[in-house]
Amino acid sequence: MRWSQAFIPTLRDDPADAEAVSHKLLLRAGFARQLMAGVYSLLPLGLRSFQKVEKIIREEMNGLGAQEFSLPSLHPKDLWERSGRWSKMAGEMFQFEDRRGSDVGLGMTHEEVFAHIAGELRSYKQLPQVWYQFQTKFRDEPRPKSGLLRVREFTMKDSYSLDVDEEGLAQSFERHFEAYRRIFKRLGFEVVAVEASSGSMGGNESIEFMLRTDAGEDRVAGCGACGYAANLEKATSRLPDVEDSLQEASPEKFPTPGVRTIEDLAVMEGGTPAERQIKTLVYMMDEKVVLVLLRGDHLIAEQKLIDGVEADSIRPAHAEEIQSALGAKPGSLGAVGAEDLFVIADEALRGRRNMTTGANEDGFHLSGVDVERDIPVKGWLDLREVLAEEGCPMCGQPLDVYKCLEVGHIFKLGTRYSEAMGAKVLDQNGKSAPIVMGSYGIGLDRNLAAIVEANHDDSGIIWPVNVAPFEVVVTVVKPKVVDCLEAGQRLYEALLGHGIDVILDDRDERPGVKFKDADLIGIPYRVTVGPKGLADGVVELKRRRDGQTRDLETAQAALAIAEEVLDERR
């Protein structure tokens, strides 16, 4: 490829609306362009790197003995209704009627379709199986942002393991776990594997692979001492023991005019510290009022609540719903004596006495509350969000909390989808048994951006050789000088002959412009061919990663460069 003939529309300035580093650099370096919110076109450079990411993933999947499929993006409503996800995913799934009046949706993921196909398996002797695809997914993301990191249309590698029992699933899960570690290492970044919520996917276990970066929107609690790591949607921690004095008296009501928040009650004269207050949140679960209680200084990890209850819909209650159920406005709410309502309490409140909570009367609170005596708690769950410096649940050392970007997610689905789709086989005893499934996803567009987040400097992208759009750029300093251009062309052709992805920068531009473009795009190696060097029989090789340069004899340059590039590929 000659640069003078290529479409590489680099920009000199950062796009005004770009925040994440990868968003800025992929646009500036001519890899992608936005078509609309959350929808991007990959330009030739972007597609070259994208295809290399895909190649690495395909190689690792094929190494597992996986078989590649290509499934439709357009799905019928009844398939998703059988799994119970048509209505549950309505907020994110593009759903519409076709011209015949049939309800259809654009696939966000393909568990239903793969389980439907798995219904053609008949015997345990056909298992295990691993099936996968690269497919376009669609999600009506409410807040598309950060370029390719949060989009509405993207490509995913989703794979599915099919086993006869849980033991087989455990083995498939572990094999995918190790394959994912190899994939991310080959893509050029280190990941942290963390415990995670399975969310709408279901199942009883999942692991996220996280890249630690400020561009991420997930937060992880991690322990440097023992290696424990979990998404805050799943993380737990140790809290110091609390000693409450005995109190036999009943709760006592007292006035709290103007108090609307936990902090208001803490700072008022004679107030109560937040850790001795009970925070009362009101949720509608399947349109029924549920009270959720936490310690006043704790925040709710809402995904923990979603995972911990069986409800098709969960949302915070509206002001009028709260007033109707409890007779008071937020700021004076409590669960003392709430026998007619379902009450869920966080484990940090178990056994607590002498607590303060709202009296369900505007401007009044109750002191002296014994949680287990005075509040009809129907369920205890771990609901609070872990904070930095709290004790690790494994070893007790202080936890760190940091931002991460999810680059892969693997799930133990169990039999949820196979039972819904009738995917069963005859087991060793001749009895019909549902197939035990796992699901494993990697977003290619997001990983392309993640590589940039992990590999850049002030000058631009620093692509690892494995995923660079071009591995080498041959930069001809003076293309109008015949000897220079011909020497550059010979070197370019020789590198092609060695199997190197190379581009010849034959543009009639100033050397500084060419060098800046090469650095911005992030090509791993730059070879400079100029009159002065050629007069001495050398060309200059510069490595983008660390800026090291060295002169190579012209006659041996192609072989030396090819050996270095091929060695780095491995």
DSSP summary character for residue 191: -
Pairing of strands 342-346, 288-295: parallel
Q: Which residue in 170, 146, 190 sits closest to 21, CA to CA?
A: 146
d(CA 136, CA 312): 27
Output the six-digit token pair for 360: 């369900």
CB atoms within 10 A of CB 44: 14
SS3 124: helix
Query: Hey, what domains does the chain have and what are their CATH numbers?
Result: 3-73+108-235+401-453 (3.30.930.10), 252-381 (3.90.960.10), 470-569 (3.40.50.800)
Contact 558, 540 (CB under 8 A): no
Tens-binned pLDDT, residue by residue, of the chain (570 aa): 999 999 999 999 988 888 899 999 999 999 999 999 999 999 999 999 999 999 999 999 999 999 999 999 999 999 999 999 999 899 899 999 999 999 999 999 999 999 999 999 999 999 999 999 999 999 999 889 899 999 999 999 999 999 999 999 999 999 999 999 999 999 999 999 999 887 766 667 899 999 999 999 899 999 999 999 999 999 999 998 888 877 667 899 999 999 999 999 999 988 899 999 999 999 999 999 999 999 999 999 999 999 899 888 899 999 999 999 999 999 999 999 899 999 999 999 999 999 999 999 999 999 999 999 999 999 999 999 999 999 999 999 999 999 999 999 999 999 999 999 999 999 999 999 999 999 999 999 999 999 999 999 999 999 999 999 999 999 999 999 999 999 999 999 999 999 999 999 999 999 999 999 999 999 999 999 999 999 999 999 999 999 999 999 999 999 999 999 999 987
> Which pTM was predicted?
0.90
Q: How far is C-alpha 141 from the chain's CA centre?
A: 13
Per-residue pLDDT at 245: 78
d(CA 84, CA 134): 25
Q: Which residue in 76, 75, 182, 83 sits closest to 135, CA to CA?
A: 75
Per-residue pLDDT at 546: 95
